[in-house]
């Protein structure tokens, strides 16, 4: 008998993909051409959150959590997928510096109060354009006024990025991703413009600052 009952619905494709990709997720950080920028980001991001209580949205396997926790007062790191959280909990991070828990990254239901900063790494690109306003609003609701926010994601780079396979009627773009097992998934992956980013956070943010690299972008702002 299947473990899924008739009343249960399967998780969305993006959740299935990242659940099955958990053990191979961090291979994306091995690309030789990206090492210089990744080294810079591993130094930049912890400094942003020094002495802050950070909410990390969609933390995945805890790759960025381990660096943020070096300087943050505490990191509350959430993800919807238990398989990636299991890997994250095995990272060599002091237990008094981080709390991993399961939560939906759009609604953020169950996020603890008191955070004065937030980080989302490689999550923004997986949010449909129609859902971005809800994500931004919910994020602001769960943080203190004046909180510092950093959003990190990919810039499309021909030859290094996976090609875009299609665009839907709302302007969302998709990629076809293949796992080591051979399974193939179509994954939502948007590449926003600078204007789109600033417009999306304008309802909750003071002046936003965008740091653009060849392979990545980093959006910084403080909540009103």
pLDDT by residue (tens digit) across 2-33?
Answer: 344 444 555 566 777 877 777 888 999 999 99
What is the SS3 assignment for 79?
strand
Mean pLDDT of 119-144: 97
First-residue to last-residue Cα distance in the chain:
52
Question: Residue 11 corresponds to which tokens in the numbers above?
Answer: 């998780």
Domain ranges of the chain: 13-21+32-163+192-222
What are the respective helix, strand and coil percentages of the chain, to the nearest 5? 35, 25, 40
Residues 6+ apart with CB under 8 A from 100: 59, 62, 65, 77, 78, 79, 85, 88, 89
pLDDT by residue (tens digit) across 42-62?
Answer: 999 999 999 999 999 999 999
**Prediction pTM value:** 0.92
Residue 175 pairs in a beta bridge with 164, 187
Judged against a pLDDT cut of 70, whether residue 39 lies above it is answered with yes
Q: Is the dihedral of CA 162, 163, 167, 172 positive or negative?
A: positive
Cα 7 off chain centre by:
30
Count of CA atoms in the C-beta half-sphere (13 A) of 91: 25
The fold for domain 13-21+32-163+192-222 equals Rossmann fold (3.40.50)
Q: What's the pLDDT at 5?
A: 46
Q: Angle CA(115)–CA(197)–CA(14) in degrees, nearest 5?
A: 75
**Pairwise CA distance, residues 143 & 112, whole Å:** 9
What is the SS3 assignment for 39?
helix
Judged against a pLDDT cut of 50, whether residue 220 lies above it is answered with yes
């Amino acid at each position: 008998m299947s473990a899924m009952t008739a009343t249960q619905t399967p998780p969305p494709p993006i959740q299935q993909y990242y659940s099955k990709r958990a053990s191979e997720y961090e291979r994306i950080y091995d690309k030789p051409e990206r090492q210089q920028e990744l080294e810079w980001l591993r130094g930049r991001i912890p400094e942003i959150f020094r002495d802050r209580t950070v909410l990390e949205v969609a933390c995945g396997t805890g790759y960025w959590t381990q660096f943020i926790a070096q300087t943050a007062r505490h990191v509350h790191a959430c993800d919807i997928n238990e398989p990636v959280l299991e890997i994250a909990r095995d990272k060599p991070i002091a237990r008094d510096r981080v709390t991993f828990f399961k939560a939906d990254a759009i609604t953020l239901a169950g996020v603890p109060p008191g955070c004065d900063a937030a980080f989302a790494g490689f999550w923004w690109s997986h949010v449909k354009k129609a859902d971005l306003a809800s994500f931004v609003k919910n994020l602001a609701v769960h943080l203190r006024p004046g909180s510092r926010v950093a959003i990190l994601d990919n810039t499309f780079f021909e030859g290094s990025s996976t090609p875009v396979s299609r665009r839907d009627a709302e302007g969302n773009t998709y990629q076809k991703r293949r796992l080591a097992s051979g399974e193939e998934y179509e994954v939502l992956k948007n590449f926003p413009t600078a204007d789109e980013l600033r417009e999306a956070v304008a309802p909750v943010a003071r002046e936003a600052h965008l740091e653009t690299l060849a392979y990545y972008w980093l959006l910084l702002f403080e909540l009103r």
